[in-house]
Amino acid sequence: MHFKLIIALTEEAITDKIVEAARSKGATGSTVISSARGEGLKVAKTFLGLSLETQRDVILLLVEEHLSREILETIAEAGELDANPGSGIAFTVDVEDAVGVSAQVENLTEIVEEEL
């Protein structure tokens, strides 16, 4: 079984919505890293040396490759990533190998067979 890692960098307020949407399309779990900082096209404003930028969450989803595109599109829609500039980005990375996912493989085998 081949996997892809979906990485979503999003506003804290929409993290739960994105994770739920990913699960609805076949993601079997997620890891959320809270309180990340990032900078986009425009530099964040400061006030007396303090940054006014919002906190970001990093959402990591290890998903089966056949499900990855649909999950990525669902994340973009749920988080309105294309509609609202600055709300976040999401992208996939190929995973060469993974361990510790045997329980997910059993579940994913059934899901992928239904999709194909």
User: What would the mean pLDDT of 41-60 be, rounded to a whole number?
Assistant: 71
Pairwise CA distance, residues 102 & 18, whole Å: 24
State which amino acid sits at residue 42.
Answer: K
Residue 104 has a pLDDT of: 74
For the chain, give every domain's residue range.
Answer: 3-40+49-115
pLDDT given at position 51? 57
Render 21-87 in DSSP notation, one character per residue: HHHHTT----EEEEEE----SSPPPEETTEE-PPPEEEEEEEEEHHHHHHHHHHHHHHTTTTTSTTS
pLDDT at 18: 96
- Determine the length of the chain: 116
Q: What is the pLDDT of residues 13-35, one digit of tens each?
A: 899 999 999 999 989 889 999 98
Name residue 89's amino acid. Answer: I
62-115 confidence digits (pLDDT tens): 999 989 999 999 999 999 999 988 789 999 999 998 888 877 777 777 666 666
What CATH number has the domain spanning 3-40+49-115? Answer: 3.30.70.120
